[in-house]
Chains A and B, each alone.
Chain A
C-alpha cells in the first residue's frame, strides 16, 4: 500500500518518480534503460534528458527503450511486450539494463521483477518507479541509486577518497558544483573515487565501496547513504556544503571522518573566502530584500540563512525596499557557488540603483 501520504519537502514540485530515476540511470553511459509503459512516458523523459544533456555539451542521445504499451497491453497484461523489448535491449549489447515501471503497469500488476530475473547474459535490474504510489522525483533518484548500488560487489581496499552521491544531474550548475567539491577536498588531500552516479560506466560501479567517505548532494539521500554504510561501512556527510561557515564546517567534517587534521585547510579556505568577498566591495552597504522565487515554489530551507550570512559579510542592509533578490534554489554550493550568487546580486543591485 501507499505508505507515503505526506509530500516530500525536498523538491519543489514533487515531480515524476520515473524522471528522477532516469536522471540517475542515464548517467551509467553503457547501460540501457527500458521503460515499461505507454510511449509517452518515454518520449517526455527522452526530450527532457536530451535537452539537458545538450545544455551540458553531451551530444549522444539518452539510451531509452519503451515497451510502448497501448490499451490492449493494459487489458491483456504487458509482460509479453516487456519480454520483447528486453530481448531487443539485450541484443544491443549494453553492459547493464535497467527496467523502470510506470504508473499503469504497477496498477495492473505486471510482474516486472520476475521477467527481469529470467535474464542472465547481462545484469537486468528492475527499478520501481510508479509515482502514484506516493513517490516523488526524489524517490526515483533514491530507488535508482539503490538499484545501481546493487551492481557493486564487495569493496576492494579502501582508499583515502570520496564518492559524490546523488549529484543533481538535471541542475544547471552540476559540473561547477562537482568541481567545487573537488577543489575543497583537494585542500585536505582527498580525491574523488566515484561520481555516483554521473558520467560513469557499469564497471566503475565496482569501486563504490572503496571510498573513505560518501558525500551526499542533499540530506534527502540519507536512506541511500545508510544503506551504503551498512553494506560497505562507509560513513557519510549528508550534504554538499552551503554558506561561508558551512563550507568550512564541511572541510572539518570530512577531515574528522577521514582522520585528517583540517585546521590548516579551513584557514586557507577562510582566507580564500575573504578574498572572494573582497571582489564585491563595490556593493558593500547597499540595500537588499530577499524574495521567495515564486509563491508556488518552496525555497531551499537553508537559502535564507546563507543569504543573510553573505549580506552580513558584505555589510549589506536587508530592508523591505532594497533591491529584490530571489532566494536561490537549490542553495549555492561552496565558496564558488556563493561567488556566482553574489555576481547575480551585483547585477540586481545595480539595476535597482539605476532605477
Chain B
C-alpha cells in the first residue's frame, strides 16, 4: 500500500490535483482512498459529483464516536474511489488540528485505512501539529508539494518542506518528500523556476500541470477532468502524474531554504 499526501498553499489547486490524481489512479485498476484533511471539506466533491458527503467530525458531533461504521464515513465516488472528509468545527471555534487527530484515530479503529493507494489532501499550511498528522506515525510516506511559480506559493511549499525535514528526524518517521508538482498559473518561466526551487530543496519537479480551461469547465459539471474529458490533453497530464507517482521510488529529505536564500532565489528568477 502506498500512502501519499499533497500539501501546498491554500487555493493552489491541491484538491483539484488530488481528485484528478485519484481518478487517474483508479483508471489503472487500483483501489484508491482519498482523505480530505481540511475543515472546508471540499477535497472529494468532484469525485462525488458535487455531493457533500458527511464528514467524520460531523458524524462524531452528532452521534458520538461509538456509533459510526465504515459505511458512514467512506463513500464511493467516480471510478470506485473511496472518499472520506475529515471536516472540522464551525469556523472560529474549537480546534481543527485536534479534529484531524481524532479523525485518524477513528479511521484507524474502523480499519478504514487500506487500499492500493491512500491520498491525503491536507489544508494549505501546516498550522499546528494536528495538520502534520498525515506526515506522522507512518501514515503518508511520500509528501508531494503542490505549488505554482508565485512566490507566496513557493514560500508556503518551503515551509512545508521544513515540517517534513523536522519530522523526518524522528526515529519512527517514514515521511519523505516525493517531489514537487507545479500547478501552473501561466507565469513566464514558471516551470524553470519551480524546477530550480525543487532542486534547491533537494527534490525534483515530477509534474508540470499547465493551466487549462477544461479544469473549470469540468468543475462546473461537478466532475474531475479525468471523468469529464478523458481524451483531453489535461486528462493525459493527470494520467501521466498518476503513473509517475505510482512508479516513484526516489524520495528525499528536503533541505528547506532560509529566508534570505528564498529572497535571493526570487530575485534571480523574477524579471523586474
Binding site for B on A (CB under 8 A): 71-72, 74-79, 107-110
Contact = CB atoms under 8 A, between A and B. Distances in A.
26 contacts: A71-B98, A72-B64, A72-B65, A72-B102, A74-B94, A74-B98, A75-B57, A75-B60, A75-B89, A75-B95, A75-B98, A76-B57, A76-B61, A76-B89, A76-B90, A76-B94, A76-B99, A77-B89, A77-B90, A77-B93, A77-B95, A79-B93, A108-B93, A108-B94, A108-B95, A108-B98
Contacts of B93: 76-77, 79, 108-110
B91 to A, nearest CB: 11
A75 B90 contact: no
Contact of A77 (B64, B65, B94): B94
Contacts, number: 41
Contact of B102 (A71, A78, A108, A109): A71
B69 to A, nearest CB: 18
A76 B62 CA distance: 11
B143 to A, nearest CB: 24
Contacts of A78: 94
Contacts of B90: 76-77
Interface of B: 57, 60-61, 64-65, 88-90, 93-96, 98-99, 102
A107 B130 CA distance: 14
A76 B64 CA distance: 12
Nearest to B60: A72
Nearest to A78: B94
A74 B95 contact: yes
A78 B94 CA distance: 7
Contacts of A109: 93
Taking chain A's interface residues, is the majority helix, strand, or loop, or is none over half, making it mixed? Answer: helix
Nearest to A109: B93
Contacts of A108: 93-95, 98
A306 to B, nearest CB: 49
A23 B95 CA distance: 30
A76 B57 CA distance: 9
A181 B89 CA distance: 54
A76 B99 CA distance: 8
Contacts of B102: 71-72, 75
Highest count of chain B CB atoms <10 Å: which of A71, A74, A76, A110: A76
Given A75-B94, A75-B95, 14 more contacts: A71-B98, A72-B61, A72-B65, A75-B57, A75-B60, A75-B88, A76-B57, A76-B61, A76-B89, A76-B93, A76-B99, A78-B94, A108-B93, A108-B94
B104 to A, nearest CB: 13
A78 B90 CA distance: 12
Closest 3 CB pairs of A and B: A77-B93, A77-B94, A75-B99
B202 to A, nearest CB: 35
A77 B96 CA distance: 10
A72 B61 CA distance: 7
Contacts of A110: 93
A71 B57 CA distance: 12
A101 to B, nearest CB: 15
Contacts of B60: 72, 75
A96 B215 CA distance: 61
A110 B94 CA distance: 7
Highest count of chain A CB atoms <10 Å: which of B88, B98, B102: B98
Contacts of B61: 72, 76
Highest count of chain A CB atoms <10 Å: which of B88, B90, B93: B93
Contacts of B57: 75-76
Nearest to A111: B93
B247 to A, nearest CB: 38
A63 B88 CA distance: 35
B95 to A, nearest CB: 4
